[in-house]
């Protein structure tokens, strides 16, 4: 996880069926040796840190599996990401910055076109700094959750008995 990606992901193929992978993950979750919990059903698996071990930046792994009828391999796509409350907070803040930037740009450039003072446009760099700060904060949080991300990664590897691509 040395990357600057917001949500690291992997893709792989397995000879195991989705049902077999779900059964293996459920069995491994029952052992609870890694302080992890999760849900596994149909074609989707979610693995997260146990509530007692969880902090604000704790990650979760969402896995989607599918197998084409003519294919003998199951495609597995896994995405590591923050818990939904963190993801929602960052999404709302980025959305608010974007919408406010649009409105302020409209007002500021309209005032400029009419020959009035357009000091309101100085808010745009402030919004850019806030957005950049949010991105840096998300990277910091990702680093705080890195150990748990690796624990989840290795847990899934152990559960299915295959090596996952690096994230």
pLDDT in tens, 40-67: 888 999 999 999 999 999 999 999 999 8
Confidence (pLDDT) at 27? 92
Q: What is the pLDDT of residue 4?
A: 54
Strand order, beta sheet including 74-82: 9-14, 74-82, 59-66, 44-49, 36-41
Question: What kind of fold does domain 9-83+146-160 have according to CATH?
Answer: TATA-Binding Protein (3.30.310)
Alpha carbon distance 112, 53 (integer Å): 54
pLDDT value for 5? 65
Residue ranges, the chain, pLDDT below 70? 1-6, 167
**Assessment of whether the complete model's pTM goes beyond 0.85:** no
What's the pLDDT at 69?
A: 81
């Amino acid at each position: 996880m040395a990357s600057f990606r917001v949500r690291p992901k992997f893709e792989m193929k397995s000879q195991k069926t989705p049902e077999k992978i779900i059964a293996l993950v459920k069995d491994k979750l029952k052992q609870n040796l890694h302080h992890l919990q999760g849900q596994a059903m149909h074609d989707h698996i979610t693995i997260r840190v146990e509530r007692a071990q969880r902090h604000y930046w704790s990650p979760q792994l969402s896995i989607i599996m599918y197998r084409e009828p003519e294919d003998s391999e199951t495609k597995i796509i896994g995405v590591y990401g923050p818990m939904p409350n963190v993801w929602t907070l960052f999404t709302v803040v980025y959305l608010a910055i974007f919408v406010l930037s649009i409105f302020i740009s409209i007002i500021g450039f309209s005032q400029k076109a009419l020959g009035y003072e357009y000091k309101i446009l100085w808010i745009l760099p402030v919004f850019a700094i806030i957005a950049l700060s949010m991105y840096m904060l998300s990277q910091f949080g990702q680093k705080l959750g890195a150990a748990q991300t690796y624990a989840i990664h290795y847990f899934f590897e152990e559960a299915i008995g295959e090596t996952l691509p690096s994230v």
